[in-house]
Structure 1
Amino acid sequence: MPVTSPHRPVEIPGVGVYDLLFADLTPQDAARTAVTDSATGTSVTFGELRDRVDAFAGALAHRGVGVGDVVALHAPNSLAFVVAFHGIMRAGATVTTVGALATAGDVARQVTVSGASLMLTVGLLGPAGAQGAEQAGLDTDRVIDLADGERGLASLLSEGHPAPQVDFDPATHIAVLPFSSGTTGVPKGVRLSHRNLVANIVQISPLLMDNGQTRDSVIMAVLPFFHIYGMNVLLNSSLHNRTHLVTMPSFDLPTFLELHQRHNIDFTFVAPPIAVVLAKHPLVDDYDISSLTTVLSGAAALDENLAAAVEKRLGVKVLQGFGMTEASPVTHVSSRGVTPLASIGLPVANTECKVVDLTDPDFSEILPPAQESGLSRPGEMWVRGPQVMLGYLDNEEATEVTLLRDGWLRTGDIVRYDHQGNVYVVDRAKELIKYKGYQVAPAELEALLMTHDSVADAAVVGFFRPEDGEEIPRAFVVPQVDASGTPVTVDGDALMEWVAARVAPYKKIRMVEVIDVIPKSGTGKILRKDLRDLPVTP
């Protein structure tokens, strides 16, 4: 049987995102600080933010942007992003968010596929936004640099056009169109309605408050808003809870720590790579971040030992969440003081979860939870709830593979669960290494490598050995640095022996490469394809 959420069902308001966040703004809340842009030093209250969103929507409407239009937004975490993002939706249009590190070719493809008729970019990210829009055929007057003094954000807000009256069905109108690779294949546009986003906001906002947030919390927002995690968990849910967001355009450890110290940040969202730095880097000890009480990790699985190391070093509580773009994104969140550190917890309100045996060709066998101790057999996690996407843009085949007719969303993640229904992520189904018929989870080996004193970061991928065609685990490691900033020496053979003493024989690492940095996406996911393409060191 599926595992149902233990949380009380929530009522999902039949409104758009703007009305959920701003329509009931009281005078007291209007005066509270909503966002501080760390790059510019600008802070705005909730009332000021609402007024800027309205003014931006009016400027877009004056340019003919409204229901049925798509606007591309290419900007780092900033006050400008927040205003533009919500202004686009306030005007009735759909936002397609573009990754900050996208190339001109990436931008052109996304603008073309999404059908965007306007590009909002920030020149500080480089020329890719403007060049990509041009390659996609947009006229120069349909490309706006938000930082431009004459045509940018400040100019748009000063025009004084009223926000338009718009009419749409929140259940079917697309609010955002982020792009995701999903469980397989190239990036696809994910059609998320206003109801999808609103549902997830009201599903997770009370859980965040139960897990350490308060109305007086100061939240670190370094994970990118263009990604669904930053977009709906950090940005929208924090606005809904009336907390104070401090934006950071990209991760830089000294600045990250200094902002915590200066603003007394108490709740921080991270991805595992940031958790690694917090657990291991000597620079952390040079700052007073004692105000921090809670670290919530998402975007990829967080190892139990790493979570424990962060808790011990910082004196905080570490929590995990699970989500995917196709689920707006959150399906599971751990509970403070209850959920085991290794687990992503239980389904959020109004959400069902089941673990399916992938060896069953009909996917009809649902794996039962474990008994009083231990974990279930591994299988693929499927979820169902109001936060699940409407489908992929113009890709019925991919939609039918991922989103089944009875509403179940295939996550592509291999998990196990305990007798209470707590879920433990093993790895992505497509990332498993098949060695002599055994399945080897890269995440397990990566977590073990990260506990070694000489390793600052690690990734494991499959490598097909030419002599026998066998797929073997190949590790890439980044050396730890000492107090002077000098990388320590990593002995590959010794490291393989160290791992072999701690795992089953079929899980042994059989190649080690020392590199300067593990390639990762903006949200911290390891770019395994980039690693697979690297030549073997002689």
Structure 2
Amino acid sequence: MGFAIADEESNPNFDKRSGFDSQTGIYHSLVQLNENQKIPTQPNLDIATFVLSQFPPPYQAETKVALINSTTNHQVTYAQLRGSINSLAAGLYHGLGVRKGNVIFILSPNSLLYPTICLAVLSIGAVITTANPLNTAAEIIKQVNDSGANLAISSPEEMHKLYPTGVPTLVTSRCKEDSNPHLSVEELIENCEPLTIPTTNITQSDTAAILYSSGTTGTSKGVVLTHSNFVSLMTLLKWSVDVSKSQDDVFLCFVPMFHIYGLAFFGLGLFCSGTTTILMERFDFIGMLEAIQNHKVSNIPAVPSVILGLVKYNNLGGYDLSSLRRVGSGAAPLSKEVADGFRKKFPWVNLRQGYGLTESCGAATFFVSEDEAKARPASCARLLPNFSAKVVDFETGLALPPYREGELWLKSPTVMKEYLGNEEATNATFYSKGWLKTGDLCYFDDEGYLYIVDRIKELIKHNGYQVAPAELEAILTGHPHILDAAVIPIEDEESGQIPVAYVVRAGNAEELTEDQVIKFVANQVAPYKKIRRVSFISAIPRSAAGKILRRQLVLHSKGLIISKL
């Protein structure tokens, strides 16, 4: 592997081990792509054309399986997938008049049709915006209006939430009992010939998607991602699959495709490497175990809460998980304790943590090898090719060297264009020359490995000290009788804020008390980090990507305080 910047070899300020340039304060990726792996630069290239160009050749596409429904075992080959994309694109363009720049609102759980819908929409220059099917009607109305959606595509069971918007709507599939039938995606695919679509002059700078951030600590915002962002990301994902030698792996998809993690990886990216994906419509822990066993799944891109479940679940002996080879973790921090517990329980499985955010199209870091990941279980790897980073002191604005904590800033071709219609938020997030301020507290070590400490906004301010909830949550989930945990701040007159824990007991641990939990944490941390109060709860509220919804817990805690007055 070479260095990302050719001139760095002769730069006296550049540290070849960490990638840090002491003169500029910039960390550079230590990986350089070869000529065949570099990001395409032709201006008139859209992401759908790029993905389709990476499909297996026709003589393989007829038999190579792209997708399998984990429940019904229905299979879709690459040839069938290409045909469905082309037919749906023709139906949308010629039948419904969808044009470049139109925004298509997608409201559906995972399905075999989801990638077809996304790629068909993108191929005619229209823009996708995706939503969680669990969202309320009010949340959906807000997103439809904010995104300026011209057409909606919905699963039948969620369609009622779209009625108040007045937006024309397709259903994904026709319901037999539907008394007011709507045109369906399935009908368009079946009845439309893949007609030639006039040249739409899509450029890499055009908007491809408007994805709404989870809004776990604030109001969600529309992240505008371009075709260039996705082409850059697909190039990196293809490289990561190639370098991991996982082209022949069988992947399991249960992360939602409406989230950047699922959309980038399963809705688009894996098709560039010709792999097979087993698709779960909705996550179910036992269903996941059965899918691994029945389909000989070898690769799972997961989230920390799922990995924690695998560590804590005691009845895995009833399932054959021997086919597993790799488990990736993303979307939220994975603690060293959980990573160590996973490796102890599944020593034959490669566990690798990565880091990304919607604003960077889901990418930033990647572990090339399992040896790297094992040696640094708390790290989320090194920067991907074409990425640069800064660690910035949020009080002085100075760029910091290895082992100094500050805010992570990123720059890469995958970084978003803007927040839709929100100039104030865009200006607050971008610094000069395209640096994206992530809001994450982090540091790099002296070999260029990134460590995420926590969200800056979520740090608890106690007596002038900063307490990271993620650190305390890692300790809590290390307790044998705690299944899951979350830590939030509660306002306190004397100390500013105090750390309060919400804890989910393991199934057979009803005797676990508040005092026992407080003492367990106190024995492992400095006095100012101690948990001051514990509430037991049946489940930690999380987003579809596995992030803790702290705002819900803060509201819950305020209700508890009021009820005690």
Return the TM-score normalized by structure 2: 0.88
Matched, 1:180 2:204: no
Deviation at 1:165, TM superposition (A): 3.1
Change in Cα spacing, 1:235 to 1:114, as seen in structure 2 (3 Å) is same
Change in Cα spacing, 1:436 to 1:301, as seen in structure 2 (3 Å) is same
How many angstroms apart in 1 are the aligned matches of 2:364 and 2:59? 32
Structure 1 residues 101-250: aligned runs within 5 Å: 101-124=134-157, 126=158, 129-131=159-161, 133-138=162-167, 142-149=168-175, 151-161=183-193, 162=195, 164-180=197-213, 185-211=218-244, 213-250=245-282
How many angstroms apart in 2 are the aligned matches of 1:45 and 1:186? 40
Amino acid at match of 1:145: V
Deviation at 1:477, TM superposition (A): 0.4
Residue pair 1:326, 1:389 contacting (<8 A) in 2 also: yes
Tell me the percent identity.
34
How many angstroms apart in 2 are the aligned matches of 1:448 and 1:277? 16
SS in 2 for 1:533: helix
Deviation at 1:83, TM superposition (A): 1.3
Give per-residue Cα distances to partners, 1:291-322, cap 9 Å, x unaligned.
00111000001001101211221231110111
Matched, 1:309 2:338: no
Aligned residue in 2 for 1:274: 306
How many angstroms apart in 2 are the aligned matches of 1:325 and 1:249? 22
Matched, 1:318 2:347: no
Change in Cα spacing, 1:530 to 1:283, as seen in structure 2 (3 Å) is same
2:323 to 291, 303, 310: 291
Deviation at 1:40, TM superposition (A): 3.5
Deviation at 1:82, TM superposition (A): 1.6
Aligned residue in 2 for 1:468: 494
Aligned residue in 2 for 1:481: 507
1:27 to 47, 58, 67: 58
Aligned residue in 1 for 2:481: 454
How many angstroms apart in 2 are the aligned matches of 1:184 and 1:366? 26
Residue pair 2:241, 2:247 contacting (<8 A) in 1 also: no
Aligned residue in 2 for 1:257: 289
Unaligned segments of structure 1, at least 5 residues: 370-375
How many angstroms apart in 1 are the aligned matches of 2:47 and 2:315? 40
1:355 to 380, 391, 397: 391
How many angstroms apart in 1 are the aligned matches of 2:287 and 2:32? 40
Aligned residue in 2 for 1:503: 525
SS in 1 for 2:552: helix
SS in 1 for 2:277: strand
Structure 1 residues 349-498: aligned runs within 5 Å: 349-360=385-396, 363=397, 365-369=398-402, 376-465=403-492, 468=494, 470-482=496-508, 487-498=509-520
Amino acid at match of 1:442: P
How many angstroms apart in 2 are the aligned matches of 1:165 and 1:453? 62
Give per-residue Cα distances to partners, 1:353-377, cap 9 Å, x unaligned.
11001121xx2x11111xxxxxx12
Matched, 1:2 2:26: yes
How many angstroms apart in 2 are the aligned matches of 1:168 and 1:312? 53
The worse-fitting range, judged by mean Cα deviation, of 7-16 and 514-523 is 7-16
Aligned residue in 1 for 2:372: 338
How many angstroms apart in 1 are the aligned matches of 2:281 and 2:196? 28
Give per-residue Cα distances to partners, 1:448-490, cap 9 Å, x unaligned.
000101100000000113x5363000000001114xxxx5322
Change in Cα spacing, 1:259 to 1:24, as seen in structure 2 (3 Å) is closer
Amino acid at match of 2:393: D
Amino acid at match of 1:23: S
SS in 1 for 2:364: strand
Return the TM-score normalized by structure 1: 0.93
How many angstroms apart in 2 are the aligned matches of 1:272 and 1:113? 31
How many angstroms apart in 2 are the aligned matches of 1:34 and 1:46? 5
How many angstroms apart in 1 are the aligned matches of 2:443 and 2:54? 41
Q: CA RMSD in A?
A: 1.7
How many angstroms apart in 2 are the aligned matches of 1:283 and 1:166? 56
How many angstroms apart in 1 are the aligned matches of 2:198 and 2:160? 30
Amino acid at match of 1:27: P
How many angstroms apart in 2 are the aligned matches of 1:190 and 1:281? 36
How many angstroms apart in 2 are the aligned matches of 1:520 and 1:277? 14
Give per-residue Cα distances to partners, 1:392-439, cap 9 Å, x unaligned.
111111111112230100110000111011110000010000000000
Aligned residue in 1 for 2:536: 514
Residue pair 1:490, 1:514 contacting (<8 A) in 2 also: no
Amino acid at match of 1:389: M
Aligned residue in 1 for 2:118: 85
Residue pair 2:409, 2:437 contacting (<8 A) in 1 also: yes
SS in 2 for 1:323: coil
Structure 1 residues 67-86: aligned runs within 5 Å: 67-86=100-119
Deviation at 1:184, TM superposition (A): 6.5
How many angstroms apart in 1 are the aligned matches of 2:414 and 2:28? 15
Aligned residue in 2 for 1:49: 81
Deviation at 1:333, TM superposition (A): 1.3
Aligned residue in 2 for 1:373: none
SS in 1 for 2:385: coil
Amino acid at match of 1:454: H
Unaligned segments of structure 2, at least 5 residues: 1-24, 176-180
How many angstroms apart in 1 are the aligned matches of 2:103 and 2:267? 20
